[in-house]
Amino acid sequence: MSRIELRNVGKRYGDVAVLHDINLVIEPGEFCVFIGPSGCGKSTLLRLVAGLEEISTGELRIDGRVVNDLPPAQRNVAMVFQSYALYPHMSVYENMAFGLRHQKLPDDEIDRRVQAAAKSLHLDGLLERKPKALSGGQRQRVAIGRAIVRNPKVFLFDEPLSNLDAGLRIKTRVEIARLHREMGSASMVYVTHDQVEAMTLADKIVLLRPDIAARGLPSIAQVGHPLQLYHHPRNLFVASFIGSPAMNFLRGSAVACEPQCVRARLAGGLEVQAQVLAPALQAGEELTLGIRPEHVLLGSGPGQGVVSHLEHLGETSQVYLQVAGQEAMLLAKGALPGLKLGDRVPFGLPPEQVHVFRADGQALPRPAQA
User: Applying CB under 6 A, which residues contact ligand ADP?
Assistant: 13, 18, 36, 38-44
Question: Does 318 engage in binding with Mg ion (CB under 5 A)?
Answer: no
Question: Does 162 engage in binding with Mg ion (CB under 5 A)?
Answer: no
Please identify, among the stretches 39-47, 122-130, 242-250, 288-296, the one whose residues bind Mg ion according to the rule CB under 5 A: 39-47
* Contact partner, 40, from Mg ion, ligand ADP, none, Cβ < 5-8 Å per class: ligand ADP
* Contact partner, 322, from Mg ion, ligand ADP, none, Cβ < 5-8 Å per class: none
Tell me whether residue 13 or residue 87 sits nearer to ligand ADP (CB atom): 13
* Contact partner, 51, from ligand ADP, Mg ion, none, Cβ < 5-8 Å per class: none
* Contact partner, 87, from ligand ADP, Mg ion, none, Cβ < 5-8 Å per class: none
Question: Does 240 engage in binding with Mg ion (CB under 5 A)?
Answer: no
For the bound state, the minimum distance from the C-beta of residue 215 to ligand ADP, rounded and expressed in Å, comes to 14
Question: Does 163 engage in binding with Mg ion (CB under 5 A)?
Answer: no
For the bound state, the minimum distance from the C-beta of residue 41 to ligand ADP, rounded and expressed in Å, comes to 4
Q: Which of 27, 29, 37, 43 binds Mg ion (CB under 5 A)?
A: 43
* Contact partner, 38, from Mg ion, ligand ADP, none, Cβ < 5-8 Å per class: ligand ADP
For the bound state, the minimum distance from the C-beta of residue 53 to ligand ADP, rounded and expressed in Å, comes to 8
For the bound state, the minimum distance from the C-beta of residue 189 to Mg ion, rounded and expressed in Å, comes to 13
Tell me whether residue 206 or residue 332 sits nearer to ligand ADP (CB atom): 206
Instruction: Compute the distance between CA of residue 202 and CA of residue 198 in angstroms, rounded to an integer.
Output: 6
Which residues bind to Mg ion, rule: CB under 5 A? 43
